[in-house]
Amino acid sequence: MNPWINANVLKVHKWTENLFSLILNASISPFQAGQFTKLALNEENANFQKNIKQNKIQRAYSFVNPPSNKNLEIYIVRVLNGKLSNLLYNLKSGDNLFIKQNSFGFFTLDEIPTCKTLWMFATGTAIGPYCSILQEGKNINRFKNIVLIHAVRYKNELTYLPLMNKLYKNYNGKLKIETIVSREKIDDSLNGRIPFLLKNQILEKKIGLKINCNDSHVMLCGNPYMVKDTYLFLKEDRFMRKHLRRKQGHITMENYW
């Protein structure tokens, strides 16, 4: 049983015309950093109603906040003609919506085998679960190095870069950060797509570390094409395989649609 419960909007942070974060208050069950929830509004009038049995427009979103922070933070892209994302974008402080009581998913550090270097690849809003994991900081001493890579189209989509830089300082050298911007060239960021930057060893040279099947584990989260292409490259070029509970591997994946 996983009921819908009430969530109150504390703040809507509109980063750009298409990117925004919801700050919510809701009495959800404890969750693990890296997990996701589902948000919903009633389909008939797109507003919160007491009758929660109505048909709902719903979608899955990851938490940005660590479990220790009771203010729930969700990072969302506003999809053109998207039913729910446009409604959520126009919510205001004090509005209500639905959230699932219990969270979902296995994109957590507890599911990752111990290794020397943990690589975290994200595109767009998929930076969220990594922010949650790194802010929580639990079970992280098993890794000597952590590499956080955030790929976006334009510079103004690096909305969580201040938080990433704060985390960089907090981890005292354990955490390395690299940003990638694909559709414009800017200082301090690589330009291109993740598979291209890996194939040409541009990314690893910039970081100063090598991805290999002996001491690395790769987490892939974001655009399904990035996830698929990067997985295939690592499988064919680095002899890495998908990580399963029944069979340990080197790559953990989660798609953001």
Six-digit token string for 208: 């100063």
Asked if 99 contacts 26 with a C-beta cutoff of 8 angstroms, the reply is yes
Q: Can you give the pLDDT at residue 126?
A: 98
Give this prediction's pTM: 0.94
Sign of the dihedral through C-alpha 218, 113, 74, 38: positive
Q: What number is the average pLDDT over the span 178-198? A: 96
| pLDDT at residue 245 in the model | 87
- What pLDDT is stored for residue 49 in this prediction? 47
pLDDT at 54: 63
Residues 6 or more apart whose CB falls under 8 angstroms from that of 42 comprise 48, 49, 54, 55, 56, 57
Q: Is the pLDDT of residue 88 over 70?
A: yes
110-121 b/e (C-beta count within 10 Å ≥ 16 → b)? eebeebebbbbb
Which tens digits make up the pLDDT trace of 153-184? 999 999 999 999 999 999 999 999 999 999 99
Q: Which domains does the chain have, with CATH numbers?
A: 4-100 (2.40.30.10), 109-255 (3.40.50.80)
Q: What is the mean pLDDT of residues 209-215?
A: 97
At residue 53, the pLDDT reads 54
Task: Report residue 63 as tokens.
Answer: 């938490």
Q: What is the pLDDT of residue 55?
A: 84
Calculate the alpha carbon distances from 211 to 114, 143, 201, 235, 238 in Å.
15, 14, 10, 11, 8
Would the pLDDT of 52 be above 90? Answer: no
Whether pLDDT at 217 is above 60: yes
Q: Report d(CA 91, CA 249) in Å as an integer.
A: 42
